[in-house]
Amino acid sequence: MKKIAFITGATSGFGRACACRFAEAGWSLVLTGRREERLAELRDQLSDKGPVHTATLDVRDSQAVKAVVEALPSEFQAVTCLVNNAGLALAPHAAQKVDLEDWHTMIDTNVTGLVNVTHALLPTLIEQGAGTSIINLGSVAGDAPYPGNHVYGATKAFVRQFSYNLRCDLLGTGVRVTDIAPGLAETEFTLVRTGGDQASHDKLYGGTTPLQPEDIAEQIYHVATLPPHININRLEVMPVRQAWNGFAFDRD
């Protein structure tokens, strides 16, 4: 089977690192994201390793998703691994102080966007059958409640349950589904979440040892290349220097 990965959010962070990791192993790549220049740069950087097709895509737009999948050049059509990575958190403040628009943006991207891409590629993945994978980027934020997590954590809980439910329906097709749930990882995530606040980024990742995008890309590559009879349902990955904290109390 020819190996073709379709990666959303390939312009930064985990998605970009995945593109590099899969390219290194000789996979054909379909790389998508909204920032066209970054996609072009990445294509230039990786195309000596193997075939790369790029498409500017906002995953929130179901018609655009469908159009990108339908317009794939023939050599990229038989996708064998979907990395549903595009996503974001916004407004790390108390729920009651957050704009409704920010909640909608997270739901539209992390939930609607992820199901848009999954729906468009399911027939292809089922056609390719055993050994194919859908790898969804969840988060530890989908399990651990914490202040300012409101809708972001809820979207990642959706990703976990959707991944499990997909497995039930795909039983017998050979298509694997995994929810990868990273902990603290140093990407553009916090810059996006804080509206470009470099000081917040530096404070969060400073003085500790966060995961790097390449750490998660390695896990994703591992999951995608396991023998076809193995399905990792969920993989939670944290830095050693991160752990949970206890309950909070409102006191007199």
Tell me which residues are annotated as active site: 152
Residue type (1 letter), 173: T
Q: Which is nearer to ligand NAP, 36 or 169 (CB)?
A: 36
Min separation Cβ 216 and ligand NAP, Å? 8
Interacting residue with ligand NAP among 11, 28, 132, 133 (CB under 6 A): 11
**CA proximity to 225, closest of 41, 126, 80:** 80
The yes or no reply on residue 20 touching ligand NAP (CB under 6 A) is: no
Q: Is 35 in the site for ligand NAP (CB under 6 A)?
A: yes
- Residue 126, judged by CB atoms within 10 A of its CB (0-12, 13-18, 19+), counts as middle
Nearer to ligand NAP, 58 or 174 (CB): 58
With CB under 6 A as the contact rule, the residue among 6, 23, 27, 33 that binds ligand NAP is 33
Longest dimension (CA), the chain: 67
- Can you tell me the distance from the alpha carbon of 76 to that of 119, in angstroms, rounded to the nearest whole number? 17
Residues in contact with ligand NAP, counted by CB under 6 A, come to a total of 29
Torsion from C-alpha of 192, 193, 195, 197, nearest 10 degrees = -90
CB of 186 to ligand NAP, least distance (A): 7
* Residue among 151, 126, 154, 125 nearest 142 (CA): 154
- Please say which residue, 131 or 166, places its beta carbon nearer to ligand NAP: 166
Dist CA 80 CA 148 (whole Å): 36
Binding mask 90-109 for ligand NAP (x = CB under 6 A): -------------------x
> Does 14 sit near ligand NAP (CB under 6 A)?
yes
> Would you count residue 142 as binding ligand NAP (CB under 6 A)?
no
Binding mask 178-197 for ligand NAP (x = CB under 6 A): ----x-xx-xxx--x-----
CA 62 to chain centroid:
17
> Virtual CA dihedral for 118, 119, 125, 126, nearest 10 degrees?
140
Nearer to ligand NAP, 128 or 179 (CB): 179
Cβ neighbours of 99 (radius 10 Å): 11
Contact residues toward ligand NAP (CB under 6 A) are 8-9, 11-15, 33-35, 57-60, 85-88, 109, 113, 137, 139, 182, 184-185, 187-189, 192
